[in-house]
A and B are shown apart, each in its own frame.
Chain A
């Protein structure tokens, strides 16, 4: 049973526009949420995180939003750049990290 779900396998946006990646979870006990970014032939790298006691965290072009009532997490990238093209994994923590399936983002020049 998938506790963390990323229902969009892929997303394509134009350079300079906003990218919105979504993630849903089922376990209300998750206390920390993270986004990881993965380039081909490399391991995932940490991007941004948010505690369950907050609803927004911003770091430069990246903002993560948490809606606990909807059990929904989203990552906004503004403005999107071609170098942002990668696979993005949502993860949730309750003592260990549970990852989603990933969303492949393509930013077109």
Chain B
């Protein structure tokens, strides 16, 4: 298995533009998580899915953020409109279990200018 695959690796966009981050989880993993890494807060959980259904989106910062999982092998995190404070590294992770054994992707470094 190639692991959790995220794209793009880097994204530079202008304030106000729509940004879409993509994730392919490990086949067979029932859980998918989106995290954001910042210096101040470390790894923040934004949202997670179980069997493609969003379970907890309490970490999504505001309505500009949305996430979907249309099938077991694909998820997107969308920011519309993007703002400079959204600049961070966004990680996707998947696992068999909600509380253990997460495998992370390599992340998407987002820069909003």
Contact = CB atoms under 8 A, between A and B. Distances in A.
Interface string B69-107: 000000000000000000000010100001111111111
A77 B102 CA distance: 22
Interface of A: 2, 6, 31-32, 34, 36, 41-46, 49, 89, 91, 93-102
A53 B107 CA distance: 33
Contacts, number: 61
Given A45-B104, A46-B101, 5 more contacts: A6-B42, A44-B43, A96-B98, A97-B33, A99-B43
Contact of B42 (A43, A45, A96, A102): A102
Interface residues of B, number: 24
B37 to A, nearest CB: 8
Nearest to A94: B99
Contact of A99 (B35, B100, B103): B35
